[in-house]
Amino acid sequence: MVLALLVSSNLAGAELNPDELVYPTREALSRGEYLQRVLQNNHVIQARLASFGSALNLHRAESGLMEPELVGTGQWIDRQRPNTIELERSLQSGGVFIERNLVYSGGVEVRTPTGARVRVGASARRLRNNVQRTVIVDLDAEYETSLDLSIEQPLLRGAGPGVALAPRRMAARSAEIGYQEFRWQLMQTVAQAEITYWELALAQEQYRLSNESVGSARALLDDSQARLDAGRGARIDVIEAQAGLAQRETRRARARQRLIEAMNRLAAFFNGRPQQDGVQYEATETPHIDSLRFSYAEGTDAALTMSPDVLRTQRVVAQELLRVQLARNERLPQVDLRATFGSAGLGFDWNSALDDTEHVRFPQWVVGVDVRIPILAGVRSRNELAAARQRLRQAEYNLADMEATIRTEMDAAIRRVESAEGIVSGHRSAVSYRQALLDDRMTGREAGRVDARTVLEAEDDLVASQLEMRDSEVEYERALLELQLLQGNLLQHRGLELTMDDLQTKARGWLRGDQPVIDFLDYREPSFRNLPAAGPLMNVDGRVEPEGRRFPLWFGRDGGEDE
């Protein structure tokens, strides 16, 4: 009976027995089921997706930079003004000028890609005052109309599409950065959730082995006590068995606490509440160790193409380059060309006034140039340009450092996975040897050649080796996930890689608030045999990188591509 208890340890991680449950209800979760819950309900992922949506809306807001605007005013004027002697001599209005006017004006204003402001406007005024009847006794009112086209075009500072479209391009870069931050957060959350799943499987195994170890120690204590009562054993064997049982009960209590902590960490990723709901989440899978082949060159190329950190930093460089261009433009003198053409009309009714305007009987031309030049050589703009150049250098150095770090860390990450695989193999061999040693000790125990302490030591060594093996398997999974994070293809292996346009399309309902959960991310069990994944690596736009072009810049679905 004792031999059967001691050798019954299952290295495959069987389900927990009913007496091993911490909470009354068991809920078994495969890795895929668990990760799908995480993707749908994790608040960190949802927060980052909301941040991406905010960046998209800001980019769309900048798309209205050149949206035409209709402007209009309407005034009713009723006022009296005392005349000076000079005005009274010319107006002869009796010392007080009284007017009651209606004034209307409207127009359309638009900003062009060249930086110019164009306005097409019209105005109409009905004039009534106490001067008019001094000239024409029965005059009711005078009517003025005008129609004009005005253009204000910067010639140096603020001129050209590069400056006029800069806010939109900056917003596009911000949207790209938000997209890469969403990819980074999704990768981090998936990796942390997977590790937490394996840690729960490890805690379950620790608790199960601890329970079995307590049962084995209790059976050995009963056997030692029976031998002592029959006069075939020694008192020291009973004491050793009692000490061994107490030690294993302490280890089981620690394992139980670790299981509770691991379960709550796992539930936190999808907002579960084990204690409140009375549910014990159980991992049904254990790590699967594959012999994978790695290529340093392919891994480095994948990281430089797909890593969210690299792509985000590239967009920061693009932003700083835009800021340098704007700061350089601000160094130019302010020279603006203003041109206006208009037609005016005047009559005793609206029709006669409009007829003058329509036939351009009174054309009006205005052309001018406004010049503004700093007297002290532009201290402000000069230093702002210098600061922008330093920020650009900083971003470029950050990008270079990140690329260098990836190249240096890639070899260590690959070797870490290979080393972890070797460690697992070593621990498996150790478990096999420890099992054989325990079998030999138990045979000696049955023959009366081995005392209880020797058997307990062998059993304790076996349990320790089993736990070290399980821990090394979790470390292998951790090393593999870290390598995929470094290469940036963790999402691709799990079917979660979305281009920026795809993410916009699929997340539209969630971003509008129509859906409480993220229902467009479908987790796929990774089945890779080598890294990186075979086939062309996707960049941010889902296209293969063309030769001679370092990285694409997304400019929005409606704005084409910004070269």
Q: What is the pLDDT of residues 393-427, one digit of tens each?
A: 999 999 999 999 999 999 999 999 999 999 999 98
Cβ(86)–Cβ(72) under 8 Å? no
Reading the block at residue 171, the tokens are 């917003």
CB burial class (10 A; 0-12, 13-18, 19+) of residue 8?
Answer: exposed
Q: Report the b/e string of 380-392 with b at 16+ CB within 10 A.
A: ebeebbeebeebb
Task: Identify the pLDDT of residue 83.
Answer: 84
CA pair distance 87, 314, nearest whole angstrom: 69
Task: Identify the pLDDT of residue 12.
Answer: 35
Strands 279-283 and 142-154: unpaired
Mean pLDDT for each consecutive 10-residue tract of the chain (563 residues)?
A: 40 46 83 93 93 92 88 92 83 84 95 93 93 83 94 92 90 92 95 94 90 82 80 79 85 90 92 84 88 84 90 93 93 93 92 91 93 85 92 94 93 92 90 87 76 78 88 92 91 89 89 84 76 43 37 43 38
CA pair distance 184, 233, nearest whole angstrom: 64
Strands 142-154 and 117-127: antiparallel
Q: Which residues is 129 bridged to in the sheet?
A: 99
Q: Which helix (H) or strand (E) holds 120?
A: strand 117-127
> How far apart, in Å, are the Cα atoms of 545 and each of 73, 313, 399, 496?
54, 17, 18, 20
Cβ(442)–Cβ(3) under 8 Å? yes
Cβ(438)–Cβ(9) under 8 Å? no
Write the DSSP symbol of residue 129. Answer: B
Q: Report the b/e string of 203-239 with b at 16+ CB within 10 A.
A: bbbbbbbbbbbbebbbbbbebbeebeeeeebeeebbe
Write the DSSP symbol of residue 28. Answer: E
Strands 96-111 and 117-127: antiparallel
Name the 3-class secondary structure at 102: strand
Determine the angle formed by the axes of helices 452-487 and 166-229, rounding to 10 degrees: 170
* pTM of the predicted structure, to 2 decimals: 0.81
Write the DSSP symbol of residue 554. Answer: B
Q: Is the dihedral of CA 73, 77, 81, 83 positive or negative?
A: positive
Length of the chain: 563
Residue 247 identity = Q
Q: Which residues is 343 bridged to in the sheet?
A: 147, 363
Name the 3-class secondary structure at 529: coil
Beta carbons within 10 angstroms of residue 157's beta carbon? 17
Reading the block at residue 534, the tokens are 């075979």
Taking the CA atoms of the chain, what radius of gyration do you get in angstroms?
40
Beta carbons within 10 angstroms of residue 263's beta carbon? 25
Distance from chain centroid for Cα 140: 69
Q: What is the DSSP string of 477-498?
A: HHHHHHHHHHHT-HHHHTT---
> How far apart, in Å, are the Cα atoms of 316 and each of 188, 553, 557?
21, 11, 21
Distance from chain centroid for Cα 387: 28
Residue 39 identity = L
Beta carbons within 10 angstroms of residue 558's beta carbon? 7
